[in-house]
């Protein structure tokens, strides 16, 4: 028997790249086609929820999250299950309904401890869903390592190196690799055969090397502009992929951007967006200080000072990493580029889903997709978060009391 049918009304929903005034119908965790409900089933809703003329959009998807709420996916080797629960639940307040826990460059022993314990799972009232791991390293350029520990960066000696290093690829969704390293092409092809997205990053690659990697199957760029050669008019490097004429016709290039107002200048955001808007994906790349109140905290072996949407090594002006939340990135991207609200929202919903090839289930409000969505005001602040049609976060009592 079908479950309870819920009608969300008095809202503007993100539908086919436009905000339109329409109701949203949900049953059994899926978005329903109202025509079938009316004409085929002749049913009425069991519950109606007034959305207060707010925006109803798909839940945010973060493809690059290193940690949050004092938990780091790469270094907290004990209590991984509890840490995942804490992060997944905390993300609901930011409208994130699915994400990829990200492991930075680490020794093989760490990968083999962590990877089996972080498995794909659907979101629930207990927290955001896990779409698979993003392994950022260790097959990267030591010159463009950023905050990655140099002692654990290694070269490739074929695909066996990947298997020996990670131990298992069962729970992996994305691997970041520098395309200029030896045997990168072979590895990219093997990863794609396993339906793992290959991202190019932490790299000194020129444009020709980058184009070759795309032809071999790479489809994503890890945090564009950060940890790669700067744009040069004679050889734009990885950045040149945004307008390259060598991309296969059947292949889409996506690229992550940290739109926190700190890691990427607004002018760079505008350049990237105007060059290739359909490939832009907002990522937080947040560290374990995300979600913590301002002040000095000890994270790992370092004292971190949290101030004004940024985290610094205490006593210095050195950035310790991003602490941006996804709603902040969406708002900043919208303001900095002058893009439409629809474009800003799709950069954090539709595009990451398309990148992972899950756009029929996530990142849209299309019929039969998962009913993971958020309620936003006109300034794009999150008012409520819904997973499978159930209210998972509602601090303002937007939904009826029997919904949450």
The pLDDT tens digits for 23-62 are 999 999 999 999 998 888 888 999 999 999 999 999 999 9
Instruction: Give domain limits for the chain.
Output: 5-58+365-393, 60-356
Look at residue 269 and give its three-state secondary structure. Answer: helix
**Interatomic CA distance for residues 86 and 89, integer angstroms:** 5
Q: What is the pLDDT of residue 208?
A: 97
pLDDT digits (tens, 9 = 90+) for 336-354: 999 999 999 999 999 999 9
Query: In CATH, what is the architecture of 60-356?
Result: Alpha-Beta Barrel (3.20)
| Residue whose tokens read 């409208």 | 95
pLDDT digits (tens, 9 = 90+) for 79-112: 999 999 999 999 999 999 999 999 999 999 999 9
- Average pLDDT for residues 226-244, to the nearest whole number? 93
Residue 138 preceded by cis peptide, ω within 30: yes
What one-character DSSP code corresponds to residue 217? T
% of the chain beyond a pLDDT of 70: 97
**Interatomic CA distance for residues 233 and 241, integer angstroms:** 13
Q: Let me know: does 12 contact 53? Beta carbons within 8 Å.
A: yes
Q: Let me know: does 64 contact 97? Beta carbons within 8 Å.
A: no
Give 87's contacts (C-beta < 8 A, 6+ positions apart).
65, 67, 68, 69, 71, 101, 127
Q: Apex CA 17: angle with CA 12 and CA 20, to 5°?
A: 25
* Catalytic positions: 285
Longest dimension (CA), the chain: 66
Please report which residue ranges of 1-157 form alpha helices under DSSP H.
34-35, 80-91, 108-114
- Average pLDDT for residues 211-219, to the nearest whole number? 98
Q: Which class in CATH covers the domain with range 5-58+365-393?
A: mainly beta
Binding residues: 136, 147, 202, 223, 226-227, 234, 263, 319-321
**Interatomic CA distance for residues 118 and 110, integer angstroms:** 13
Of 345, 339, 336, 338, the closest CA to residue 381 belongs to 345
**Interatomic CA distance for residues 217 and 184, integer angstroms:** 11
Q: What is the pLDDT of residue 300?
A: 65
Q: Which residue has the higher pLDDT, 283 or 233?
A: 283
- Average pLDDT for residues 10-14, to the nearest whole number? 98
Q: What share of the chain is helix, strand, coil (3-state, %, to 5)?
A: 25, 30, 45
Phi, psi of 347 (to 5 degrees): -70, -20
- Supply 236's token pair: 């734009």
Of 305, 301, 300, the closest CA to residue 316 belongs to 305
pLDDT digits (tens, 9 = 90+) for 343-396: 999 999 999 999 999 999 999 999 999 999 999 999 999 999 999 999 999 987
Q: Record the pTM.
A: 0.96
**Interatomic CA distance for residues 353 and 58, integer angstroms:** 11
Give 8's contacts (C-beta < 8 A, 6+ positions apart).
23, 24, 25, 26, 49, 51, 56
pLDDT digits (tens, 9 = 90+) for 136-149: 999 999 999 887 88
Q: What is the pLDDT of residue 313?
A: 77
Q: What is the pLDDT of residue 402?
A: 41
Instruction: pLDDT band for 304, please (50, 70, 90 cuts).
Output: confident
Binding residues for substrate: 147, 226-227, 234, 263, 319-321
**Interatomic CA distance for residues 287 and 400, integer angstroms:** 35
Cβ burial of 112 (10 Å; 0-12, 13-18, 19+) is middle
Q: Let me know: does 323 contact 290? Beta carbons within 8 Å.
A: yes
Of 45, 38, 48, 39, the closest CA to residue 4 belongs to 45
Q: Which residue has the higher pLDDT, 404 or 69?
A: 69
Binding residues for Zn(2+): 136, 202, 223
**Interatomic CA distance for residues 59 and 52, integer angstroms:** 18
Q: Specify the range with the lowest mean pLDDT, choosing from 227-241, 249-263, 297-311.
A: 297-311
**Interatomic CA distance for residues 284 and 95, integer angstroms:** 13
């Amino acid at each position: 028997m079908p479950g309870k049918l819920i009608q969300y009304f008095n809202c503007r929903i993100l539908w086919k790249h436009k905000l339109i005034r329409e109701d949203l119908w949900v049953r059994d965790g899926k978005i329903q086609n109202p025509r079938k409900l009316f004409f085929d089933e002749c049913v009425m809703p069991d519950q109606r929820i007034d959305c207060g003329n707010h925006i109803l959009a798909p839940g945010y998807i973060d493809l690059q999250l290193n940690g949050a709420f004092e938990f780091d996916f790469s270094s907290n080797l004990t209590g991984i299950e509890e840490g995942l629960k804490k992060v997944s639940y905390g993300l609901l307040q930011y409208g994130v309904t699915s994400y990829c826990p990200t492991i930075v460059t680490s020794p093989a022993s760490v990968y083999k401890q962590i990877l089996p314990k972080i498995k794909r799972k659907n979101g629930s009232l207990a927290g955001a869903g896990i779409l698979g791991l993003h392994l950022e390293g260790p097959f990267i350029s030591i010159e463009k390592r950023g905050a990655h520990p140099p002692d654990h960066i290694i070269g490739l000696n074929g695909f066996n190196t990947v298997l020996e290093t990670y131990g298992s690829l069962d729970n992996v969704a994305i691997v970041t690799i520098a395309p200029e390293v030896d045997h990168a092409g072979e590895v990219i092809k093997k990863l794609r055969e396993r339906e793992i997205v290959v991202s190019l990053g932490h790299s000194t690659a020129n444009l020709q090397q980058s184009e070759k990697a795309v032809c071999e199957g790479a489809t994503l760029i890890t945090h564009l502009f950060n940890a790669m050669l700067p744009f040069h008019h004679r050889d734009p490097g990885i950045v040149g992929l945004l307008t390259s004429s060598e991309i296969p016709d059947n292949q889409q290039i996506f690229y992550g951007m940290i739109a926190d107002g700190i890691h990427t200048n607004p002018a760079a955001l505008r350049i990237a967006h105007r060059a290739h808007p359909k490939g832009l994906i907002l990522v937080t790349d947040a560290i374990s200080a995300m979600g913590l109140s301002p002040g000095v905290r000890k994270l790992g072996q370092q004292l971190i000072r949290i101030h004004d949407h940024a985290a610094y090594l205490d006593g210095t002006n050195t950035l310790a990493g991003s602490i941006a939340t996804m709603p902040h990135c969406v708002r900043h991207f919208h303001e900095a580029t002058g893009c439409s609200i629809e474009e800003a929202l799709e950069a954090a919903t539709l595009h990451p889903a398309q990148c992972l090839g899950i756009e029929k289930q996530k990142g849209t409000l299309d019929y039969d997709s998962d009913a993971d969505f958020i309620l936003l005001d006109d300034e794009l602040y999150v008012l409520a978060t819904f997973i499978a049609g159930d209210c998972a976060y509602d601090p303002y009592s937007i939904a009826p009391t029997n919904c949450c």
